[in-house]
Structure 1
Amino acid sequence: MEHQRYIDWIDDRIVDDSRRVVITFLVVTLLFGAGLGGVSTNAGTSQFTTGLPAEEALQQVNTKFSPSFETDTGNTQLIQEGNNVLSKESMLRMLRSQKRLNDHANLRVTSTSSAAGLVAEQLDPEATTTEAQIRAVERATDSEIDAAVRDAATETPQFNSLVSNDFNRGSASASATIGLVTHEVPAGISSGSGQGGSSPLTGIQKQADFTVSSTGPNGITVFGSGILADEFSNVVADSLILTVPAAVLFILLFLTIAYRDLADMALGLLSLFMTIIWTFGFMGFAGIPFSQMLIAVPPLLLAVGIDFGIHAINRYREERENGTGIETSMKITTDQLIVAFFIVTGTTVIGFLANLTSSLPPIQDFGYVAAVGILFTFAIFGVFLPAAKVELDRLRERYPIPTFSQSPLGSEGSALGGVLRGGVVISQRAPVVFLLLVLVVTGGASAYATGVSTSFSQEDFLPPEDNPDYLEQLPEPFAPSEYTVTGITNFLEEKFSSTQSSQATIYVEGPMRKDSALEQIHQAGSDPPDSFVREDGRASSTSIVTVIQDHAERDEEFRRLVERNDANDNGVPDQNLEKIYDYLLDSPVRGQALNYITEDYRSTRVVYTVESDASNSEVTEDARTVAEDFRFDATATGSIVVFQAVSDVIFESAIQSLAIALVGASLFLVLIYYLLEGRATLGIANVAPVIVTVALLAGTMRYLEIPLNALTATMLAITIGLGVDYSVHVTHRFADEIEEYDMTTALDRTVRGTGGALLGSMLTTVFGIGVLALAVFPAIGQFGILTAMSVAYAFLTSLLVLPSVLVVWDRLFNRDRPLGVLPDDDTAAVTDQAAGTDD
């Protein structure tokens, strides 16, 4: 065939120019190594929100409705808990903490507030500074403080948002409260909805924590986005420290069993190392940052590389065991395996590149980098490793290099070979019945998998609230950090869920001078959806309309201006709006007005309060419905809407990439088997066990309650790549064997020759990648579990399901080839020996 001459050319280069090939690959490795210094990092959730319409709208909101100064502000929370945080002693602790932070110049504090401060102002209306508030509380009696607490709860709405759900007005007590500290920091920290891997507030909040805690235990915890960002980074680092050594140990253990020769294993490890260097060097040259998503790339490359390496050495040993020389054995090996590796690489690359259809940049980067890495893996294990093995064995003939076992895994007559024949036995006795059973299981798993949930939240990137005991027992540097963020966020959700309202924002662009502009805003809240909080039958909201109405109550002249321009007498002006806006921007409420309308009167925002127990999907759907009621261009946005948009995209990406990967891989296999073997239908048979694997994995995700999140959403497409890896080795070997032997013998030789290498590859990959379950980064742990299970499923379906599929394929599509012909003497001997082993 036409392609054979190219394969022969590669075979010749590997064997005849082996030394030159080895040196060339080592030089290229050095070149890629130079790119490692250019690899940057990117962590957190902000990377996933980039480019979404809701996020772009939020960017516009934060840009246009924030003060146009050179500095920005950031907030720190002082979370206080105790038997009664509204007691005199507790409130003094809060106020003194506020004062210490305010007095620390490096913290750049611009303001502080707390429930204690509001109570102090009830005691002394002129106590506007922290010092004065401390004096007011110190002078007050306990009964006066209790009365002031009740007055603050009645007269100051902000008070109720700063105390926990269990606030008791009668006893003037609560178990938790929040103090707020505002810092002046570099501009742009809050331009997005997600949290990045670094924050200008990190250093400030760490210093604030030290300042508050330096006086001893006081029941106050410092919390904020800077601390959250710091733990994002720590989670990734701790996960790598925990999992990489464990993965290395498992990989070394199983590679030792698979290779059973130190020199061969060293070649395999060197090839794996080169694959990682090439991939990360490429990232450095391409300017692709290393993110949480890309943590999954090295394990995937190891999975495919381990498989390629074991197959190459094992196939070579099969030929050497027959007494064939080094050069001939390697040419036979590469002649067969380069084709198999090419098919695996093609389908795996298709599976990874399917992720490019996602609109989330991190998922696109993952698909791109993984696909390039697989191409590197093909080159290194398909060309470099065989050439290096030729050089090694030539050296062994001249020098006394220690040599251990050189027998292939699963050889004839071995106990392992007999075990691997399970799928062949089934295919001999009842292939159709077995496949019907498999079809039922696959259909049931697929139907069950439709209930898999979708998730995207900051919690996906944070560690568990409490580290498992076995992790706590680890010595340094393997012991994980003491994490607090998850516990704090759970505490806030539990204690303040009903006192702190969530919000959804509608960003509106249009001619706000138009007479109907404010009426549109007013009418949008007249019939609020279920997830929106209601006040007097209307949606609870703040907007330029509420600013106008509030100021009209305090400014008589402005009130008369509004009334003159309110044709329908509903408190909302509907003519001469530019004059209304001009008056506001020349008044003391200018800053408040600019929070809701731009100075060019071309954009506005409306902030709706939503029910705290409403789901993100409900809030997002309702916010989008309200946005559609505007005649101007209106976009629903806010953190809830953005995160739900990411969650929706993750689900769409998972389904879309799965479909593309499945169709693409199937078409590729059909084409390849047509070109190489003249049997296009063999490509369809090759895909059958992969479909079973995907269904089983998706069903397992639901059973284990693992959602489709930023990382696990890629698993379905990846499973096609990994699944095809295993089934291709079986199918391609079978295609070669069926040319010379009858059906039973061809299958028997296939599973004995390929099954042993598949088993070694499967065990190494399952345990090597399965250790990711130890990661304190939850999404990575879930990814490790799913990858290990997908490989195990792929192995089982390739050896149990595929033989029966091939038997049925032979009956339906291979009738032109005579079957049942008695094999020649050599074949008969092989068949008899196989039968003897079964007995």
Structure 2
Amino acid sequence: MTVDYQRFIDVADDWITGRPGTVVLAFFVVTAVFAAGLPAVSTDSGTESFAEDVPEEEALQDVNEKFSAPFEPDEGSTQLIQRGENVLSKRGLLRMLTVQERLADDPDMRVVATESAARQVARQLDPGAETLESERDAVERATTGEIRTAVRTLARENPRFTALLSDDFNPTAASASATIGIVTHEVPAGLDTGTGQGSASPLESIQIEARYVADAAGGDIVVFGSGITAVEFGTVISDSLLIVVPAAVVLIALFLIVAYRDLVDLLLGLTGLSMTIVWTFGFMGFAGIAFSQILIAVPPLLLAVGIDFGIHAINRYREERLTEDDPVRAMRTTTDQLLVAFFIVTTTTVIGFSSNLVSDLPPIREFGVVAAIGIAFTFLVFGVFLPSLKLYTDGLRERYPIPTFSQTPIGSEGSTLGSGLSLGVFVARRLPVAFLLISVVAAGGAGYYAAGIDTTFSQEQFLPPEETADFYDALPEPFEPSEYTITATINFLEDNFESSEDDEVVVYVEAPMERNTALESIYRAGENPPDTFVRDGRHARETSIVTVILAYQERDPRFDALVARNDRNANGIPDRNLGEVYDYLFASPARDRALDYLTEDRRSARVVYSVKGDESDAAITADARTVADRYRMGATATGGIVVFEAISAIIFDSAILSLGLALAGTAVFLLFVYWVLEGQASLGLANLVPIVVTVAFVGGSMRYLGFSLNAFTATVLAMTIGLGIDYSVHLTHRYIDERRLQPTTLDALTRSVYGTGGALLGSVLTTVFGIGVLVLSVFPAIGDFGLLTALSVIYAFLSSLLVLPSALVVWERIFGEGSESVAVPARTNEDI
């Protein structure tokens, strides 16, 4: 049984071959509409968007909003990183003070406070100095000996002073190679306080201007902050696109020259590619989808798939013209066959990309949406527009002296190329069952090995390289990438300054904190801590409202007595009348410290635990969640380490779920579509065998080559199905047509490989190089994505040529004999 789908194909054929000029004009009008959406496309870079909707990140946002932070909620900070000289020399101190003074005097900087080691030295020299100008005067008047004395005194008495200096600080010599100055700005619009980096902030214009101020003061003072980060993240996206897209176009154009060998056909293909990109970007603008790092992969992806479709369309049309003089009838036969194949390929590809919609990470979902919509646009452009434009221009060739070069198809029967691609048929002729079993067993082994792939997520994956490759220097403007300071600055800070930012986790408590057991629960959760936690005896090293209470007891005898009266088990932790205890504490000098760990409404608390920096993020996160589970009230483990580990887990889960859905969705669709087309649903199983082999080997190769599943490569496995199914569908669909015309299965396979293999080879080369060009991206992670995607395409091509013939022979032996798919007579041109 088959379903009569031909009437739908006939409608499309009528428009493509009967009204090509109208179709071309309509597509150009739609292109103009989508072009109107291009200006609305914005950029969204960094890790912040990946953290959206992650429970641990939401908890961290709540912590940052509810508890006191180093700066007020309407303030932001700029770091002035001074290096390259002894920053504690008179000249070094004056340079820092000069920059801070110039920033403070500029109303556009909105400076509300400044701090630096230079200011502390100046105030030590002249306790009466209260302004930056007077502090600069104090340093200018001081002798070298007085400055050294001031530095040594501060080193003994002020821990904050040494915290602002690099690790090589020598108090005896009064020298340090680097220091950090802090400038606080009033930013009424507020700042994001999550774990992410790279999102735009109101500090952009302030910190860009601060760069000019620092440069004008001389010395090596680097301006660093969230505004600078946002600017450079946006710049690296545009730089990557400016390098990758033209490179992809040039490479694809070169392959088109070889594949088409005709100038007009080359221009037709490039027109279709341009139209696809404009439609996709215009859709993003209208849909409000910002362009993120992961979306850098979409343009080369669409270019590669689009040219694949284009090669198949032009090559198939040229094949028909070898035996058909009428171009309209030749194009009608071409579209009659290819529209079905393109529809199957497009649907399975869309299923592969759309499977990313199940991800809990918004950027991966957006990638799935944009890629799926782009592939649908590619189908319309190359399945309808390109054939119409080809037919229209061929009509113009007959009326005008338009140069025409080669119009012969690639990989025609009898060619050396066609013979070289028929190895799979040779194997299928002799050992189809044995080879198929070997392929399946090998794929199973590769899949089992792939189960050990690591999953990672970190800020470093989103950072531009500290130093760009030398070949970028050879690029002319505007293709030469900008200079990036983010990574170098971060590495410098990590290498030269002590920081405990990555050595702590937070437990966020949401419960009535006046409940008698509240403080006891917090304290007991830290007893006998897990191995990754830093210990103070048998208790975890923590800071919380409990430690604030214990510390203030030593300073205030009345408070100590109050706590003792309300400590029923005499362990030093009050366990009744907690409201009275909090009232006293909030009315004392310890109020600000207490508000760091307990909200004023007494309904939320945070507990900060120190953890061992040499432990893995996975182990720390697991132990943090274990401790959070000990609380007798609602508690969530959070902090930068926990959030990133949670995102890593989501990436892994998303990759596996997307892969499963893509495989299942593709299998169901292939079973359905071959039941509709041929009355043989089981043909979909044969069609699916090469892609299963491909996915298994891609996963195994990822682990063997040392690639991990991250925010970028997590989509590769599902994408492999979407891209790789192309080759097996084209070959299977051609086999169906040839099976009606050839006397035996092997003859049909041979003719299919000869007729389609050349186009498949041409498309695989353009796809591999079109997507592989992503290795030129200044984002290393995007380069890995391009390399793996190109590898998956190569595997899919080889599996289709080597494994699919044996799968089809075995399918014929089990299901094909006597079936309607074999018995259906060939359609003649008069029937179409």
TM-score, normalized by length of structure 1? 0.91
Whether the 8 Å CA contact 2:655–2:714 is kept in 1: the answer is: yes
What letter corresponds to residue 454 of structure 2 in structure 1? S
SS of corresponding position for 1:657:
helix
Partner of 2:82: 80
In 1: Cα distance, 2:821 partner to 2:648 partner: 53
Q: Is the 8 A contact 1:501 1:611 kept in 2?
A: no
How far has the Cα of 1:721 moved from its partner?
0.5
Distance in 1 between the 2:617 and 2:190 partners? 26
User: CA separation in 1, counterparts of 2:674 and 2:274?
Assistant: 32
Partner of 2:758: 756
- Alpha carbons of 1:211 and 1:611: their partners in 2 closer, same or farther (altered >3 Å)? farther
CA distance in 2 between partners of 1:332 and 1:231 (Å): 52
Matched residue, 2:679: 678
Cα distance 1:232–1:125, how it changes in 2: closer, same or farther (>3 A)?
A: same
CA distance in 2, matches of 1:178, 1:615: 29
Question: What secondary structure is seen at the aligned counterpart in 2 of 1:186?
Answer: coil
Is 1:48 aligned with 2:45? no
Q: Is the 8 A contact 2:73 2:191 kept in 1?
A: no
Displacement of 1:237: 0.9
Match of 1:38 in 2: 40
**Alignment partner, residue 209 of structure 2:** 207
Q: Conserved in 2, the CA contact under 8 Å of 1:107 and 1:183?
A: yes
Give distance in 2, aligned partners of 1:258 and 1:799.
20
Judge conservation of contact 1:32–1:278 (CA < 8 Å) in 2. yes
Measured against aligned partners, the alpha-carbon deviations of 1:471-526 in whole angstroms (never above 9, x if no partner) come to 12222211111111111212222233566663322111111111111222222222
Give the match for residue 810 of structure 1. 812
Structure 2 match to 1:484: 485
Q: Counterpart in 2 of 1:837?
A: none
> Which amino acid in 2 is paired with 1:643?
F
Match of residue 836 from structure 1: none
Which amino acid in structure 1 is aligned with residue 389 of structure 2?
A
Question: Which deviations, in whole Å up to 9, do the C-alpha atoms of 1:655-713 show, x marking residues without a partner?
Answer: 11011101111121122112211222221111111122222322332344332221221
Question: CA separation in 2, counterparts of 1:213 and 1:569?
Answer: 61
Distance of aligned partners of 1:522 and 1:117 in 2 relative to their CA distance in 1, 3 Å threshold: farther
Q: Partners in 2 of 1:630 and 1:495 — Cα distance?
A: 38
Question: Could you report, residue by residue, the CA deviation over 1:18-55 in whole angstroms, capped at 9, with x for unpaired residues?
Answer: 33333332322223333333333322211111111111
CA distance in 2, matches of 1:683, 1:382: 22
Structure 1 counterpart SS, 2:402: coil
| Residue 61 (structure 1) aligns with | 63
Paired with 1:625 and 1:148, the residues of 2 have a C-alpha distance of 48
Report the counterpart of residue 779 of structure 1 in structure 2. Answer: 781
> Does the 8 A contact of 1:231 with 1:462 survive in 2?
no
CA contact (8 A) 2:508 2:605 kept: yes
Deviations 1:34-84 (A, max 9, x none): 333333332221111111111111221222224899962222223334575
Question: Is the counterpart of residue 712 in structure 1 residue 713 in structure 2?
Answer: yes
AA of the residue aligned to 1:18: P
Between the aligned partners of 1:539 and 1:142, the Cα distance in structure 2 is: 46
Out of 427-436 and 163-172, give the one that drifted further: 163-172
Residue 615, structure 1, aligned to residue 612, structure 2: no
Hey, what does 1:113 align to over in structure 2? 115
SS across alignment from 2:546:
helix
Q: Does 1:19 align with 2:26?
A: no
Given that 2:52 and 2:362 are in contact with CA atoms closer than 8 Å, whether structure 1 keeps it comes out as: yes
Are 1:729 and 2:730 matched, yes or no? yes
Letter in 2 for 1:770: G
Compared with structure 1, are the counterparts of its residues 162 and 432 closer, same or farther at alpha carbon in structure 2 (3 Å cutoff)?
farther
Matched to 1:552, the amino acid is Q
Give the equivalent residue in structure 2 for 1:799: 801
Matches within 5 A, 1:582-593: 582-593=583-594
622 and 173 in structure 1: CA distance in 2 versus 1, 3 angstrom threshold:
farther
- Equivalences for 1:352-751 in 2 at 5 Å? 352-496=353-497, 502-741=503-742, 742-751=744-753
Q: CA deviation at 1:133?
A: 6.0
| Segment of structure 1 superposing worse, 498-507 or 691-700 | 498-507
CA contact (8 A) 2:81 2:180 kept: yes
- SS of aligned partner of 1:290: coil
Q: Deviations over 1:779-804 (max 9, x none)?
A: 22222222222222222221222222
Distance (whole Å) between structure 2 residues aligned to residue 136 and residue 527 of structure 1: 53
Q: Distance in 2 between matches of 1:518 and 1:744?
A: 79
AA matched with 2:460: E
**How far does residue 820 in structure 1 lie from its aligned partner after superposition?**
14
Give the superposition deviation at 1:772: 1.4
* Post-superposition offset of 1:624: 1.5
CA contact (8 A) 1:47 1:196 kept: no
Cα 1:102–1:554 shift into 2, 3 Å? farther
3-state SS, counterpart of residue 602 of structure 2: coil
Number of residue pairs the alignment of both structures matches: 821
- What's the RMSD between the two structures over aligned residues? 3.0
* 8 A Cα contact 1:70 1:186, kept in partner: no
- 1:136–1:540 distance in 2 versus 1, CA, 3 Å: farther
Q: CA deviation at 1:190?
A: 2.9
Give yes or no for contact 2:772–2:787 (8 Å, CA) kept in 1: yes
DSSP-derived class of the 1:188 partner: coil
Task: Kindly indicate whether residue 278 of structure 2 is the aligned counterpart of residue 277 of structure 1.
Answer: yes
Does the residue aligned with 1:401 lie in a helix, a strand or coil?
coil
Q: Would you say the 8 A contact 1:119–1:145 is kept in 2? A: yes
Q: Shift in Å at residue 297 of structure 1?
A: 2.1
Q: CA 1:70 to 1:117, structure 2 compared with 1: closer, same or farther past 3 Å?
A: closer
Farther off after superposition, 795-804 or 478-487: 795-804
Structure 1 unmatched ranges of 5 or more: 825-839
Match of 1:185 in 2: 187
Cα distance change, pair 321–438 in 1 and its aligned pair in 2 (3 A): same
Amino acid at match of 2:293: Q
Q: State the match for 1:5 in structure 2.
A: 7
Query: Post-superposition shift, 1:401?
Result: 2.4
Aligned-residue offset at 1:748 = 1.3
Name the stretch that deviates more: 207-216 or 318-327.
207-216
Task: Note if contact 1:163-1:499 (Cα within 8 Å) is conserved in structure 2.
Answer: no
* Separation of aligned partners in 2, 1:185 and 1:544: 30
CA contact (8 A) 1:541 1:609 kept: yes
SS in 1 for 2:296: helix
Work out whether residues 161 and 500 of structure 1, in 8 Å CA contact, stay in contact via their aligned partners in 2: no
**In terms of mean alpha carbon deviation, does 294-303 or 73-82 score higher?**
73-82
User: Secondary structure of the equivalent of 1:625?
Assistant: helix
Q: Which runs of 5+ in 2 are unaligned?
A: 827-832
Q: Structure 2-normalised TM-score?
A: 0.92
Q: Quote how far apart the aligned CAs of 1:430 are.
A: 3.3
CA deviations over 1:559-597 (Å, ceiling 9, x no partner): 333333233333332222212222233334433332322
Contact 1:773 / 1:781 at 8 angstroms: preserved in 2? yes
**Do the aligned partners of residues 581 and 693 (structure 1) sit closer, same or farther apart at CA in structure 2, a change above 3 Å counting?**
same
Compared with structure 1, are the counterparts of its residues 26 and 116 closer, same or farther at alpha carbon in structure 2 (3 Å cutoff)?
Answer: closer
Aligned match of 1:831:
none
Amino acid at match of 1:17: R
Kept after mapping to 2: 8 A contact 1:454/1:647: yes
Query: Aligned partners of 1:744 and 1:393: how far apart in 2?
Result: 36
Query: 1: CA distance between counterparts of 2:313 and 2:502?
Result: 61
Residues 406-415 or 14-23, more deviating? 14-23
Which residue of structure 1 lines up, in the alignment, with residue 240 of structure 2?
239
CA contact (8 A) 2:47 2:459 kept: yes
CA distance in 2, matches of 1:35, 1:569: 69
Are the equivalent residues in 1 in contact too, given 2:533–2:540 (CA < 8 A)? yes
Residue 36 and residue 695 in structure 1: after superposition, are their counterparts in 2 closer, same or farther (change >3 A)? same
Deviation readout 1:221-256 (Å, 9 max, x if unpaired): 222222111111111011111112211111111112
Structure 1, 282-291 or 514-523: larger mean CA deviation: 282-291
Provide, for residues 275-327 of structure 1, a one-character-per-residue CA deviation record: whole Å limited to 9, x for no partner.
22222222223222222222222222222211111111111111110134222
Report the Cα offset of residue 810 of structure 1. 2.5
